[in-house]
Amino acid sequence: MLRTPPFVLVFVLVLGVAVSTARAQQDAPPPAVTTAPVTAKHLSFGDVFTGRIEAEQHVDIRARVAGFIQSIGFTEGQNVAQGDVLFEIEPDAYQAAIQQIEGQIDSAEAEAKLAAIELDRQRKLLSTNVAAEVTVQQAEAQAGKIAGQILQLEGALKDAKLDLSYTKITAPFDGRVGLTEIDIGAFVGASSAPLVSLSSIDPIYVTFPVPEAVLLDVRKRHLDDTGATLPPNATITLANGDPYEEPGKVEVVDTIVQPGTDTILIRASFPNPDGVLRDGQLVTIEIVEDNPETSLTFPVQALQREQAGYFVYTVDPDDTAQKTEIKVDRVDGTDVVVASGLKEGDQIIVDGIQKVRPGERVQVTPSEDQATSQ
């Protein structure tokens, strides 16, 4: 009886397993993948910087005359209008000074009338050779002296009225007042610390440093037909990550490069009607630049990378997967901007990439956005 050698049995067994595996692979359905098309989009891009909010106007309110605070006309943090009375200093002493000077002026004017009468009398006597010329000269000097006193008193009266006006400390412009340590009854004067700060609200500035090289590139991209630089738009992100709704405009570029950092300070202006932005606040600002040309994009999850560079898996019309090498311009949020290697309408595998082999058929399911579009 003939016996089959063991190695033959092993070969037959391995061959059988291989045939079974091949049949199983042939019978298995193609791997399921999700695709998205390469689309042409109008994108904007920009550079992000850290900036500081600055009020267009900011002043420390100080007393210009000495006295006790009689009233305070605001609540801390309140919006005030130009001309609103913020503090009032007791005016009694300044009103009394005005009355005293006015009385002195009345007395001097009465003396001036008497001096004028006396001068006229002496001139008549001189004309009849009754009075001496020196007497007339004395009368003229007396009248001039009194007139000079009146001028001095009128100047003093203006100063006194000016001091009285300073007892009412008003807002020089519309804005918001800060905190104050002054209470009613406190004594203040010209040498006292600031009573309160006042900052304008709308519009408001953001000042931020920009590297010189970046600024040169921005200028180059925004030259119009006349050679003038168009001011790019700007947006703000607040400290909590929320975007500020009002867009701004770059208005001022400093003429000096900051030593040591090679940066140039730029100021952008933003509407601030609700007072959300506050003086001194730290924000993230982005110079937004509109790209007049459309860009080819696809979802960022489809992007793959190897040592040779970037690639994606595309799907041919017969549902065959292909490895396609590409060059990337940049990543813009959730989109990859393509520099070369793809064309509009190419189907890119965005889900199920790990199951794909180049040259194999796949079972395609369009992405939700593509399915909705179709």
pLDDT of residue 123: 76
Backbone angles phi, psi at 265, to 5 degrees: -75, 135
Higher-pLDDT residue of 10 and 89 is 89
Strand pairing partners for 363? 32
Do 189 and 65 touch, CB atoms closer than 8 A?
A: yes
Backbone angles phi, psi at 216, to 5 degrees: -65, -40
pLDDT tens column, 302-343: 899 888 889 999 999 888 988 999 998 877 778 888 888 888
Of 343, 341, 333, the C-alpha closest to 300 is 333
Of 194, 198, 197, 199, the C-alpha closest to 64 is 194
Tokens of 336: 């990859």
37 pLDDT above the threshold of 80 = yes
d(C-alpha 179, C-alpha 139), whole Å:
62
| DSSP character string of 105-123 | HHHHHHHHHHHHHHHHHHH
d(C-alpha 336, C-alpha 297), whole Å:
5
pTM over 0.85: no
Q: Give the contacts of 50 (CB within 8 A, at least 6 positions apart).
A: 208, 282, 283, 284, 285
Residue 10 binned pLDDT confidence (cut-offs 50, 70, 90): very low
Residue 224 binned pLDDT confidence (cut-offs 50, 70, 90): low
pLDDT of residue 24: 47
Residue 89 binned pLDDT confidence (cut-offs 50, 70, 90): very high
d(C-alpha 89, C-alpha 147), whole Å:
34
